[in-house]
Amino acid sequence: MKWSWLRWTLGGGSLVAVVGVVVVAVGSPLDSGNKPDSAADARTAYCLAPAHVADLLNAAAALGLIQPGATADRIVAYGKTSDLRQWHSQQSADFNRACGAESSVALPRGAGSSWLRTTSTTVLQVLLGSLLALLSSNFGMVKERRKTRADALRVAWQEFTSALLDYTETRAAGSPRGVPSSSTIDRHRASVVLTARRAGATHRSWQDPEKLIGILENELGGAVENGWVTDSDHRAQRQQAIAADVESASGLVERVAAGTERVFRPLRGV
């Protein structure tokens, strides 16, 4: 099944718009390559808070990253003296290592991004719910529209065949014109052709509607007015032949109607 066909079938632009929003909602939390690391920011803010600086420096000293006895104003690392801010900016890898060790117990893993995950999950659930509602609504509307088309074809066929068989009966009885008139039959035939074409538009490359139209334009077309000779036996045979064509085509009509009601494309030859 091609995506373009499904989009056309289930409602077009509105469906595509909702799917696009859902894709963005799913992708945005995952595509963090060019965005700040909120978890790292949370750890940094925690470690630089005055109440936690002493623990940070103790962790750094325990890891051998700085000399013991450091304070926020005096840190010795690799033979260079700096303050806390300088050490943070100049030796960021060491700072992050010490900060991670110091904050690992106090901060839950991923605490900095938990709000993002929670928010993204909630938004995604809402969007998916909206998508399902839209799909359900559009599916119902498409199904109802196709049932209406199928019923219209059945009614048009019934009216056409009723008029045609009445016509053949009067012609077989010897009437020179037949009742109803040929123009009435033509009008009913045109109605069947129109509804069959609409049915064919519901599924691409579906051949049955065109087969039905071919029968209406040939075997059951204008030729039904011809061949009514004066001999009563020949007229009876002509009536029977047309009735047989009608019976044969009725199965095709019902197949087209049933296929029209289906939202998804009928199987070939069905």
Tracing tokens 């039905």 back to the chain, one arrives at: 212
What pLDDT score does 192 carry?
Answer: 96
pTM recorded for the entire structure: 0.53
Residue range of the domain that includes 188: 142-261
139's CB contacts (< 8 A; 6+ apart) are 10, 263
Residues 163 and 61 in one domain: no
Give pLDDT < 50 ranges for the chain.
Answer: 1-19, 21-33, 111-112, 269-270
Q: Is 53 a domain residue?
A: yes
Of 53, 84, 109, the last residue of a domain is: 109
Q: What CA–CA distances, in Å, run from 68 to 56, 150, 194, 226?
A: 12, 87, 92, 115
- Same structural domain, 74 and 148: no
pLDDT of residue 246: 96
Residue 44 has a pLDDT of 87
Residue-level pLDDT at 30: 45
* Same structural domain, 157 and 251: yes
Residue 154 domain-assigned (yes or no): yes
Of 135, 119, 99, whose CA–CA distance to 18 is shortest?
135
Residues 22 and 95 in one domain: yes
pLDDT of residue 109: 57
Residue 62 shares a structural domain with residue 146: no
Do 165 and 231 have their domain in common?
yes
Q: Do 250 and 159 fall into the same domain?
A: yes
Same domain, 27 and 92: yes
DSSP state at residue 71: B
Residues in the chain: 270
**Residue 221, domain CATH:** 1.20.120
Number of structural domains (the chain) is 2
Residue 130 inside a domain? The answer is no
Q: Is the domain of 58 the same as that of 146?
A: no
Summarize pLDDT for 89-107 with one digit per residue, the tens. 899 899 999 898 888 767 6
**Boundary of a domain, candidates 61, 94, 109:** 109
Asked if 42 and 147 sit in the same domain, the reply is no
If 0-12 CB within 10 Å is exposed, 13-18 middle and 19+ buried, where does residue 24 land?
Answer: exposed
Question: In this structure, are 152 and 93 located in the same domain?
Answer: no
Of 85, 109, 133, which residue is a domain's last?
A: 109
Q: What pLDDT sits at residue 203?
A: 76
User: Is residue 109 a contact partner of residue 38, using CB atoms and an 8 Å limit?
Assistant: no
163 and 257 fall within a common domain: yes
